[in-house]
Amino acid sequence: MAKFVHLHVHSEYSLLDGLPKIADLVKYVKELDMEAVALT
């Protein structure tokens, strides 16, 4: 399978646009076996 990295992900610090806490996001990314994600 080709590697894929989300390059536009919001976090709890994205005013009016973010939802996940960074720790939860990192845990989820690991569960999906992704190597990287870009917080914007």
Question: Residue 23: helix, strand or coil by DSSP?
Answer: helix
Rg (CA), the chain: 11
Sign of the dihedral defined by the CA atoms of residues 12, 30, 38, 2, in that order: negative
The pLDDT tens digits along the chain (40 residues) read 568 888 878 887 777 777 778 888 889 889 988 888 887 7
pTM above 0.75, yes or no: no
Q: Which two tokens stand for residue 20?
A: 């996940």
DSSP label of 7: S
* Cα distances (Å, whole numbers) of residue 26 to 2, 6, 22, 31: 20, 13, 6, 9
What type of residue is 24? D
User: So where are the chain's domains?
Assistant: 1-40
